Amino acid sequence: MIGIIGGTGFYSLIEKTEELDMETPYGKPSSKIAVGTIAGKKVVFISRHGPGHIIPPHKIPCKANIYAFHKLGVKQIISSTAVGSLKVNIKPGDFLVPDQIVNFTHGRDDTFYHGDDGVVHISIADSFCERMRKILIDVLKKEGVHEKGTAVIVNGPRFSTKAESTFFKSQNWDIINMTLYPECALAREMEICYANISLITDYDAGLKDEPTVKHVTVEEVLRLLKENNEKLRTILKEVILSLDDRDCNCMHALDGARIG
């Protein structure tokens, strides 16, 4: 079973769709869950921001989304996100498969383990599933892809100030986003493999010493998403065809992680 988290444009990929209106111990997921097949493989899909993009980044019910996938038997999650670039060579329209995150969010419930069932310390030293990352990179190579990068995750819903963006860039981080965390950590707690395709839609708040580079606007983000929607759907289909169900470290994330 493969889970997909992304924009509503991916609904058209799924064949023989059934919609589930699920309730979880953590509330309702972001949207009804579309269940069906893509290229003969069973998939389930959640629209991260809900139908009509009505849920802001800091209000996305990540725990409900990941728990619903877990209950449905999902073992691998492909996530698709729009991100801003912090480097001139990572251009709008490019694809990047991140390998690391830096969390700058606040106030988000980012664990299933609050001590009621013992103390659990999972490792996300590798922030994403390396097995899945390699598959994504292989599929994206013909499009051109940045094969790794560090994503700094900010709370949103506002964009960065120029000073914040300059700081993030000074740390040699690559892209900026509002939704990858805590999705990736929660998936690891459920021993679900998780990897991400990032589409670069803008240059964050502009780049220091690059006066010709314009800062991010909603209009520009939406334009790039619209232009690349069909390409993303094609890529997603190829990735699903390429995924296997080999054993993986992610599937044993809780081994030795529990104290008490």
Q: Give the DSSP letter string of 118-133.
A: BEE----SS-S-HHHH
Tokens at residue 206, please?
A: 């502009």
Contact assessment for residue 30 and residue 50, using Cβ atoms and an 8 Å cutoff: yes
**CA 65 to each of CA 62, 143, 195, 213, 242: distance values in angstroms, whole numbers, following the listed order:** 5, 30, 15, 36, 24
Gap between the Cα atoms of 156 and 178, Å rounded: 6
**CA 172 to each of CA 48, 96, 165: distance values in angstroms, whole numbers, following the listed order:** 28, 15, 11
Contact assessment for residue 196 and residue 117, using Cβ atoms and an 8 Å cutoff: no
pLDDT for 222 beyond 80? no
Tokens at residue 15, please?
A: 């064949």
Contact assessment for residue 175 and residue 81, using Cβ atoms and an 8 Å cutoff: no
Domains of the chain: 2-259 (3.40.50.1580)
The SS3 assignment for 137 reads: helix
Q: What is the pLDDT of residue 76?
A: 97
pTM of the model: 0.92
Structure confidence by residue, pLDDT tens digits, 15-74: 777 899 999 999 999 999 999 988 788 999 999 999 888 999 999 999 999 999 999 999
How many whole angstroms from its chain centre is CA 58?
14
CA torsion sign, 49 to 53 to 54 to 59?
Answer: positive
* Relative orientation angle of helices 180-189 and 62-71, to the nearest 10 degrees: 40
Question: What is the H or E stretch that residue 35 is in?
Answer: strand 33-38
Q: Which residues are catalytic?
A: 202, 204
Contact assessment for residue 60 and residue 30, using Cβ atoms and an 8 Å cutoff: yes
Q: What is the pLDDT of residue 228?
A: 67
Tokens at residue 131, please?
A: 């097995």
Structure confidence by residue, pLDDT tens digits, 141-150: 988 999 999 9
Looking at per-residue confidence, does 178 or 52 come out higher? 178
Q: Give the DSSP letter string of 215-246.
A: PP-HHHHHHHHHHHHHHHHHHHHHHHHH----
Gap between the Cα atoms of 216 and 82, Å rounded: 12
